[in-house]
Amino acid sequence: MTLVATANSSSEGRALREREATVRRFALTDLIFRSVAKGSAILVLLILSGVAVSLVVGAWPALSKFGPAFIGTESWNPVTENFGALAPIYGTVVTSAIAILIAVPIGIGIAIFLTELCPRPLRRPIAIAVELLAGIPSIIYGIWGLFVFAPFLQRTVQPFVISVFHDVPVLNSLFAGPPYGIGMLTSALILAIMVLPFITSITKDVFDTVPAVLKESAYGVGCTTWEVMRRIVIPYTRVGIMGGVMLGLGRALGETMAVTFVIGNAHRVSASLFAPGTTISATIANEFTEADGEIYTSSLIALGLILFVMTFIILAAARYMLMRIERRAGA
Amino acid sequence: MSAASSLYSRRKARNSVMMTLCVVAAGIGLAWLALILGALLWKGLAGLNLAVFTEMTPPPGEAGGLLNAIAGSVAMTVIAVVVGTPVGILAGTYMAEYGRFSKITVVVRFINDILLSAPSIIIGLFIYELMVRPMGHFSALAGAVALAMLVIPVVVRTTEDMLNLVPNALREAGTAIGAPRWIVIRSVAYRAALSGIVTGILLAVARISGETAPLLFTALNNQFWSGNLNAPMASLPVTIFQFALSPYEEWQQLAWTGALIITFTVLGLSIFARSLTGRRI
């Protein structure tokens, strides 16, 4: 063996060197590929921090001029350059809250229908149809809301509601006329349709994580389908459903185009849900390109910063809750 | 006995009521979809003709088409995908392959999920501060970069999910014959996850082709044909926004037709993308 090896030492040495070179080349390429991949992953982090930094920088002139009072001021006057965020914040919170109140029961209802009642061959088509609602671009909801939905509300629903609640205290200020068609409630209804698919699909997914044996034992002691859902499935998946709802809320808070079409863009805080109002995103979309003067632009970016902080907190909470239920499903 | 039977029938009645409500809820969801698509077809088809695809956007009160808006949308979408996809795939690759168990992956996944649902108008503001303000003018390039910011999280998410589904035995087989990690990833993992990764890219295209908010103050709009990436460029969603809110009937009709084109492109893309994997993403 040794003899042969010595005899071929020159050619074998070359082969060995070539081999070493190849291995080194491989190691180098691997290192490069790995670093580029890691760099891209870090870039994702940088995007989010870049968003935060650029918003703070852009909002600084307005924030330093108005201080914390910016959040509590209703006035929005480009002529005197006096800006406050109260009306957009109010509009954003109220429309999103109503949207969630409407969408959650319907979304959970559809999820129950899909997991318990629907004939198996229809499940996938119906689930896809509901998810298509999420695929429709938001500007389509806007144009549909403005030309189809708002006139319908103005002609039929709003006059009826106003006349019914005319003499009821509290409710008559909540539903005070005139019926414009567009306004806070119209926006909330359209937002409800838009977040419905998110709530439905997550609720359906977390319903599927319930161990079959839990449901079977409930059926075994004689529970009805509703009792199984109400007492077993929903309590078991509560955290996941909350996560889905928060995700929907995050979407509703930041939704721009659909709301811009139908909210009416009026900077005031009004008790009536039929009155036109504005949201943070609608204000930015409507006014940003026309804003002249540093303080005006900066105030709009400050609105964006407030929206960013609100959605970040909501979405982070949503993801945290969904992670918890995923971990449990995986365990 | 009668008390027990009345309790029993009450529970049964309650069950039927709640289950009926669930069916009604599903009906509501499907009805909205039908109402919206119906209105789109009704109003949009009326204005759909060849001129829409061959003529420029008209001045108020005249007939015309959407050619420059469609071309602008396609151009910015292509650039956004070309810029955003490699970053997304590489980041997803790191998370699923090299750093599957590292801390940074957990953080990136968390942040990426937030970016995935972050309001797109915020991305518009970000790119305005990052590109439009330093450059001093609106540009198609800024619009494309804003769209790329929306492509990245979608592609990261699907790439990571799809690579995680690739069986480890395949990777081990590659490593066993002496292939280095990056060759295993390129020739084994990517190939196994190809249809899923393509699905992610298609979903990203579907997502950005309807986006309006991030383009409003990055690419702005343009009444004319423009091939200049350094100047404002028209896009279908922004044109729809402008035309729909105008008082001119011709413009409103073009807005509806444009809305029809966008919606069916987007829905077609997302159905096609889903059918590629056969699995819901």
Type and span of the H or E element at A83:
strand A82-83
- Pick the residue of A132, A191, A308, A324 with the most B CBs within 10 A to test the interface with B by mutation: A132
Question: A264 near A179, Cβ under 8 Å?
Answer: no
10 Å Cβ neighbour count for A219? 14
Same domain assignment for residues A101 and A248: yes
Residue type for position B9: S
Same domain assignment for residues A119 and A223: yes
Same domain assignment for residues A28 and A101: no
pLDDT > 90 fraction of chain A, expressed in percent and rounded: 63
10 Å Cβ neighbour count for B78? 13
Domain ranges of chain B: 3-47, 51-280
pLDDT tens-digit readout, B197-255? 999 999 999 999 999 999 998 998 888 888 888 899 999 999 999 999 999 988 999 99
Whole-number Cα distances in Å, A315 to A74, A307, A311, B63 = 27, 12, 6, 45
User: Higher-confidence residue: B264 or A163?
Assistant: B264
Question: A76 near A267, Cβ under 8 Å?
Answer: yes
In this complex, the residue of B86, B126, B213 whose CB is nearest that of residue A54 is B126
In this complex, the residue of A58, A112, A135 whose CB is nearest that of residue B266 is A135
> In whole angstroms, what is the distance from residue B55 CA to residue B64 CA?
6
Inter-chain contact A55–B122, Cβ cutoff 8 Å?
yes
> In whole angstroms, what is the distance from residue A286 CA to residue A307 CA?
16
User: Measured between beta carbons, which residues in chain B are less than 8 angstroms from residue A42?
Assistant: 104, 108
For residue A231, the 8-state DSSP code is I
Inter-chain contact A254–B21, Cβ cutoff 8 Å?
no
Same domain assignment for residues A13 and A120: no
User: Measured between beta carbons, which residues in chain B are less than 8 angstroms from residue A319?
Assistant: 110, 113-114
In this complex, the residue of A43, A50, A113 whose CB is nearest that of residue B25 is A113
- Pick the residue of B129, B209, B245 with the most A CBs within 10 A to test the interface with A by mutation: B129
pLDDT tens-digit readout, B135-168? 999 999 999 999 999 999 999 999 999 999 999 9
Question: A231 near A222, Cβ under 8 Å?
Answer: no
Give pLDDT, residue A322. Answer: 85
Longest dimension (CA), chain B: 84
In this predicted structure, the answer to whether residue A176 has a pLDDT above a threshold of 90 is no
Same domain assignment for residues A49 and A73: no
CA dihedral B147, B153, B158, B161 (to 10 degrees): 170
pLDDT tens-digit readout, B40-88? 999 999 989 998 899 999 988 888 889 999 999 999 999 999 999 999 9
Same domain assignment for residues A53 and A189: no
Same domain assignment for residues A57 and A76: no
In this complex, the residue of A54, A113, A226 whose CB is nearest that of residue B15 is A226
In this complex, the residue of A51, A225, A315 whose CB is nearest that of residue B126 is A51
Backbone angles phi, psi at A76, to 5 degrees: -140, 90
Same domain assignment for residues A26 and A79: no
Give pLDDT, residue A8. Answer: 59
Question: B61 near B129, Cβ under 8 Å?
Answer: no
10 Å Cβ neighbour count for A90? 18
Inter-chain contact B87–A106, Cβ cutoff 8 Å?
no
In this predicted structure, the answer to whether residue A134 has a pLDDT above a threshold of 60 is yes
> In whole angstroms, what is the distance from residue B201 CA to residue B272 CA?
12
Same domain assignment for residues A223 and A320: yes
In this complex, the residue of A29, A128, A289 whose CB is nearest that of residue B217 is A289
In this complex, the residue of A57, A135, A319 whose CB is nearest that of residue B110 is A319
Same domain assignment for residues A195 and A218: yes
pLDDT bin (cut points 50, 70, 90) of residue A331 is low
Question: Out of A93-107, B201-215, B267-281, which region has the weakest mean confidence (pLDDT)?
Answer: B267-281
Q: What's the CATH code of the domain at A274?
A: 1.10.3720.10
**CA B206 to the chain's CA centroid:** 4
β-strand partners of A11: none
Inter-chain contact B129–A133, Cβ cutoff 8 Å?
no
- Pick the residue of A35, A136, A196 with the most B CBs within 10 A to test the interface with B by mutation: A136
Give pLDDT, residue B239. Answer: 94
pLDDT bin (cut points 50, 70, 90) of residue B280 is very low
pLDDT bin (cut points 50, 70, 90) of residue B109 is very high
CA-angle at A35, arms to A29 and A36, nearest 5°? 90
ipTM comes to: 0.91
Find all residues with CB under 8 Å of B223, minimum gap 6, and list them. B56, B57, B59, B68, B234
Type and span of the H or E element at A77:
strand A76-77
CB burial of A56-75 (b: ≥16 within 10 Å; e: otherwise) equals: eebbebbbebbeeebeeeee
β-strand partners of A77: A82
> In whole angstroms, what is the distance from residue B273 CA to residue B88 CA?
17
Inter-chain contact A319–B113, Cβ cutoff 8 Å?
yes
Same domain assignment for residues A45 and A158: no
Structurally, chain A folds into a number of domains equal to: 2
Size of interface A-B (CB pairs under 8 A): 266
Pairing of strands A82-83, A76-77: antiparallel
Short-list A288, A287, A282, CA closest to A307: A282
Range of A134's domain?
Answer: 69-330
pLDDT bin (cut points 50, 70, 90) of residue B281 is very low
Inter-chain contact B94–A130, Cβ cutoff 8 Å?
no
Distance from CA of A36 to the nearest CA of B (A): 7
3-state SS, residue A30: helix
User: Measured between beta carbons, which residues in chain A are less than 8 angstroms from residue B33?
Assistant: 129-130, 132-133
| Arithmetic mean of pLDDT, A259-286 | 91
State which residue of chain A sits closest to B245, comparing Cα positions: A261
Inter-chain contact A38–B113, Cβ cutoff 8 Å?
no
3-state SS, residue B230: coil
Short-list A39, A34, A32, CA closest to B88: A39
Inter-chain contact B118–A254, Cβ cutoff 8 Å?
yes
What is the CATH architecture of B51-280? Orthogonal Bundle (1.10)
Question: B227 near B84, Cβ under 8 Å?
Answer: no
> In whole angstroms, what is the distance from residue B70 CA to residue B77 CA?
11
- Pick the residue of A29, A35, A38 with the most B CBs within 10 A to test the interface with B by mutation: A38
In this predicted structure, the answer to whether residue B1 has a pLDDT above a threshold of 60 is no
Give pLDDT, residue B4. Answer: 72
